[in-house]
A and B are shown apart, each in its own frame.
Chain A
């Protein structure tokens, strides 16, 4: 229980931030237009990801898959930050 909870609570948090951040950066027609809706989506997404950690057969699988998903999401975010217009400064 503890292992899975930590995977969901920690890696789920960073994954949810990366995924919603990525969606905002990729939003057609300007990222600034969907910032508040994105924060609204972030919370249920985080809840779903915490739950998802409990659907894996073992805690180590939960950690493994969520770490892989984090790496992929942050790599995509890193690319998006450098290639897309992003927020006005």
Chain B
């Protein structure tokens, strides 16, 4: 590679890293936590309301009531099936010009502005929207594309030295070299994982938009009408206008499970079902469920909603390339193809990814540092402030949000009302603190704060609710992980404080005196 090309690629890598790095740090940190979404949800709702046993029957009745009131909902109306973590909601979804949703306990359909989220759901939405409603998901899709370009350019720059530098970690006087080595080794060793996330992240956020673009530019408008049949099992049906009684959901679900198992799927755990042309003699019912021992766990079975005969089967072992690929995108992104070990691997690689973006910012600062002056250029100071305020600030803000959830749940308040505002107030406060205290001091403060809050929330939870070994010990595991995170943040805090005191004074990371 010519030196000039390499320089240009380095510049591209720097800029794409700068543009996407902050969003990716938050996405990876919140995403690593979201690997344990269901466990965090179990932790966050210590005394879930008693689950009634007739949820599916109530959903059935609610669907019948809704199609009575909104005849347009007959075209497609469905319900989520009961799940095994406390905030999982059984709700009815239907399409009448727009998607509508009504939970079993709601008196009327939910408004657009109702975005109550529990702790686990909030951390998850932070992962893929940064907490920005409506547009956040598309923003994260674009960030994923920029991330992909950053990965490609990083690999190309590094390619000539790939083998000899792979296992090199050179501590010593040259700090830039050390950060460079750490950044490279983590980047290269976790490259397959990052490739997966750049691609599946862009796909999950932007697939609908990409389909529309292909529809217009390459397929003469014939793609969008096919979209449902590419990702689900729904057949194209026309209403006969002759009424017929519908197979009730529990019967449809059992029948679909039997069909899936007979087709070779390893288990079938239904989580969503919907009717197409509800109440019509030609109506179909589609059941979506998860199977094991496959990369893409989701599959669907479509049956006649009148007599239960099989219309389409798209489950593992009996599906086409479209459905296998679609399911694999989600399997690879969410790490659901394996057991607990894969989830922990995703968690650790997620944290390592966050560190990759953080170390990239440190490299930017270190390579633009003025070596002979205590005063650093504005861009270096601004970068240090943004890195500490946004990255470490969001770690601290998430820890604050966990504490707020615990306090709200213990005092009987509705935690879903507070988690989002608490997070953003805490993040703003952390950023303000960084501006006021300067990055070197603020980094130490925020790291200690995160460590202290992580430890406190685990101890307080154990003090309030005991060890919580019930339900497979999910809540206990969250508490133990919080303590582990506290130890990690505390050691980062100590290292940062040591560097501020005794490292090179001509740096944004030094504290004078």
Contact A37/B152 with A25-B218, A47-B145, A87-B226 known, Cβ cut-off 8 Å: no
Q: How far is the CB of A5 from chain B (nearest CB, A)?
A: 8
Which of B8, B199, B225 makes the CB contact (< 8 A) with A54? B8
Q: Is the CB of A17 within 8 A of B214?
A: yes
Bound: A18/B211 CA distance, A? 13
Q: Mark B130-153, 1 if CB is under 8 A from A, else 0.
A: 000000000000000100110111
* In the complex, residue of chain A having the shortest beta-carbon distance to the beta carbon of B11: A1
- In the docked arrangement, what's the CA distance between A14 and B210, Å? 11
Flag if B145 contacts A37 (CB, 8 Å).
no
Q: Are B152 and A24 in contact (CB under 8 A)?
A: no
Provide the residues of chain A in CB contact with B199, threshold 8 Å.
40, 43-44
Across the interface, A87 reaches (CB within 8 A) one of B223, B322, B325, namely B223
Do residues B322 and A86 form an inter-chain contact, with CB atoms below 8 A? no
Using an 8 Å CB-CB cutoff, how does the interface string of B214-255 with A read, 1 for contact, 0 for none?
A: 100111101101100011000000000000000000000000
> With a CB–CB cut-off of 8 A, which chain A residues contact B231?
36
- Chief secondary structure at chain A's binding surface: helix
Q: Which residues of B contact A42 (CB under 8 A)?
A: 210, 214
> Residue A89 at the B interface, CB < 8 A?
yes
Q: Nearest CB to that of B218 among chain A residues?
A: A21
Per-residue contact bits, chain B 246-269, to A (CB 8 Å; 1 contact, 0 not): 000000000000000000000000
| Chain B residues packing against A (C-beta within 8 Å) | 4-5, 8-9, 11-12, 15, 145, 148-149, 151-153, 156, 195, 198-199, 202-203, 206-207, 210-211, 213-214, 217-220, 222-223, 225-226, 230-231, 320-323, 325-326, 329
| 7 further interface pairs, Cβ-Cβ under 8 Å (given A18-B218, A21-B218, A43-B206) | A36-B326, A40-B203, A44-B195, A50-B145, A54-B8, A87-B220, A88-B222
Q: 26 A-B Cβ contacts within 8 A?
A: A14-B217, A17-B217, A17-B218, A32-B226, A32-B322, A35-B230, A36-B321, A37-B325, A40-B325, A43-B148, A43-B199, A43-B202, A43-B210, A44-B199, A47-B145, A47-B152, A47-B198, A48-B152, A51-B153, A51-B156, A54-B8, A54-B9, A86-B222, A87-B220, A87-B222, A88-B226
Q: Which 7 A-B pairs have the closest CB atoms?
A: A21-B218, A47-B148, A36-B322, A87-B222, A36-B325, A43-B202, A51-B152
